[in-house]
Each structure stands twice: as structure tokens, then as C-alpha cells.
Structure 1
Amino acid sequence: MTGSDIVVLGRLAEPYGIRGWLRLHVFGDDPLAWREIAAWQIGKEGGPWRAIGLNGLKAHGDGIVVALAGVDDRTAAEALKGMLIGAARDALPATGDDEFYWADLVGLAVVNEAGETLGTVAGLLETGANDVLRVVAGDGTERLLPFVEAVVLAVEKEAGRIRVAWGSDW
């Protein structure tokens, strides 16, 4: 399975307890529904992915903790800190009309109301308040645009673009 077939769901953070559980920094909504995904994938950004079983997933405090197959103690969990967790695109639930997987936004052109291309989406950042589009222009100029209704006017996946209310000189 290649990286383009995988949708990244989150990043493993610090171990939780001594039995191999890890905190999961989630990159999406409704992570408890991910229990239904038959095969999880684990890997590094740009690196190979491998299948890993899920032994447990639960809400804990204001976050999520996860137990993975073969990770039975704190030492094994520490070795996975920073790894990405993903799933095959076809294993994920369909999105609603105004919902998107981050992976679907990366690579889209960003065009403002004046018809100026600001660049392409190179990635997204989660800030707690809202997600932020990281847009990089051809000359290397980087812009951070909040992914909120006041800024993002339309996501046109089929056309390969996101229309925004954002000036080129901002």
C-alpha cells in the first residue's frame, strides 16, 4: 500500500501507563468511530506504512488513548512515539457535503476572489480553535489561512481548487 492510498488519522504521542497504551493526537472528528476500521496503518511521514492491529481505543480526559497489537509495555510504546496512524482511504466513512479529509485538501490550488492564485495547499495545522491551511506559492511564499467559513468560500475538489476571501498582499 502506498502513501497516497493512506489517509493520516493522527500521530502517536507519549505513552499512557505501563501496559503499552499511547496517547493519540487526532487529526479529525469522531475518532471513536475509528474502532470500526479493520486495518490500521502505522508509518512515518514519507516512509513506508505497515498494517497494525487495534486492541483498544477510548476517550480519556480531553484526549484519546490507543492500544496497538504487539505493543504490550511502556518501552514498546515509547518506541512508537511520533509515528503516524492512518487507514486506507476506502476503509474510511464517506464525508458529508461540507466535510473533508485533510489529505483531500493537500495539493489543491488556492484562488482568491480577485482570481489570483495564492499557491497550493502544502498541509494543514491544527490550532485548537480551528484548522489552518498552509499555502505555498511558486516563489516559496508561505501563507497560513484559517480554515473557517469567513475565509474559505468554497472547496471545489473536482476542479482542484479552494476559493478564499484573502488578499495576495496579506
Structure 2
Amino acid sequence: MASQICVARIGAAHGVRGAVKLWTFTEDPLAVKHYGPLMTKDGARQFEVTHVREAKDHLVVTLKGIATRDDAERLNGLELYVPRDRLPETDDDEYYHADLIGLAAVNADDEPLGRVVAIHNFGAGDIIEIAPAQGPTMLLPFTNAVVPTVDLAKGRVVIELPQEVEGDETPTLT
């Protein structure tokens, strides 16, 4: 089976006719209606989007076969996936998070630093999380300065560790 990419998460029921709030993880939120059936990670359930409209910070969608508020409430929190090959190709210097997870992280001298375990965005830009063989994970800005090279063919990212992190000093309490 092709690798699965999480494209959305179902939220609370919306109204009484089975509509749900949907948070998308795609550049174009409305693109979820063009990927074909959305499925659970294990592929056990599939959902067809029959109607979609934009709301303030999410979409409101109707899914085929979900007709009541009770049906919709049972879907709250469900993540929806599509096979990677159904998504558009990326531009240069553009990556799907799933393509980066598991890549080796090395420094400029090709010395191992660990593996990419996650990409986060807490609102101020993407953060790459690197797990070394031992010790705590590193959270670094996913910028060209810190990650100058992403080589999917070789399965690695090159990391330029910052020399100093602003605010690293321990504050004194009086």
C-alpha cells in the first residue's frame, strides 16, 4: 500500500444533519474534495466529501452516509488520510512532512546527528525535531540556514546547528 498522508482531522458535529467541522493540513483547504475518498489510517473506513464550505478557521463538510448529529459526533477527532500518490507533486524546496520523517540528520561533515522524528508548527514557522541516538530531541527552525540540504534520494537532511540560541542564558531570580 502506498504511504498514507494525513490531510485532515474531523472536529465536532455542526448542526443536526450530520455535517462536521474539518481542519485540513493542505495548502489549499478545499483540495480535500479533490483527492477521492478520505480514509482512516488503517484504511478500514472511507469517507466521500459531498458538500464543503469554508468557515472562520475550518471547513464545514457533509460526508456521504453521515446523516445525523449522532453519526457526526462519533467521528470527532478522526484523522483522515489519502495515499501519497494521490497528492500533487511538490515544487523544489517544498516537502510533505511525511517525506521528511525518518530521514537521517547529519552535520555538514556528514557526521550523524540522529533522525527526523517530526515537523511541528506552533505558529511561528516550521520546527524540525531531531532525535539523536541518545539524549533529548533537538527542536530546530526548519529554515534554509539551519537545514540547507534536504536530499530525499539519499535519505538525509543536512543540519547546520546554530552557534548560539538567543535567550539561552539562565535568568537570575531575586
Alignment match, 1:149: 144
Pair 76,165 (structure 1): closer, same or farther in 2 beyond 3 Å = same
Q: Which AA in structure 2 matches 1:164?
A: I
Larger deviation, residues 82-91 vs 129-138 = 129-138
Identity %: 34
Q: Which amino acid aligns with 2:32?
A: W
Aligned to 1:136: 131
Deviation at 1:108, TM superposition (A): 0.5
Q: How does 1:68-147 map to 2 (within 5 A)?
A: 68-147=63-142
Does structure 1 retain, via aligned residues, the 8 Å contact 2:147–2:159? Answer: yes
- In structure 2, runs of 5+ residues without a counterpart are 166-174
Residues 116/109 of structure 1: CA separation in 2 closer, same or farther (3 Å cut):
same
Over the aligned positions, Cα root-mean-square deviation in angstroms equals: 2.4
The normalised TM-score by structure 1 is 0.83
Alignment match, 1:26: 24
Indicate conservation of the 8 Å contact 2:24/2:32, yes or no: no
Match of 1:40 in 2: 38
Aligned partners of 2:78 and 2:39: how far apart in 1?
Answer: 10
Partner AA of 2:31 in structure 1: A
Q: TM-score, normalised by structure 2?
A: 0.81
Q: CA deviation at 1:103?
A: 0.9
Deviation at 1:106, TM superposition (A): 0.6
State how many pairs are aligned.
165
Choose between structure 1 and 2: higher strand proportion.
1
Provide the rounded CA distance (Å) in 2 between the counterparts of 1:125 and 1:18.
Answer: 34
Q: Deviation string for 1:92-128 (max 9, x for gaps)?
A: 1111112111111110111233544221111222312
Structure 1 unaligned spans of 5+: none
Report which of the two structures shows the higher radius of gyration computed on alpha carbons. Answer: 2
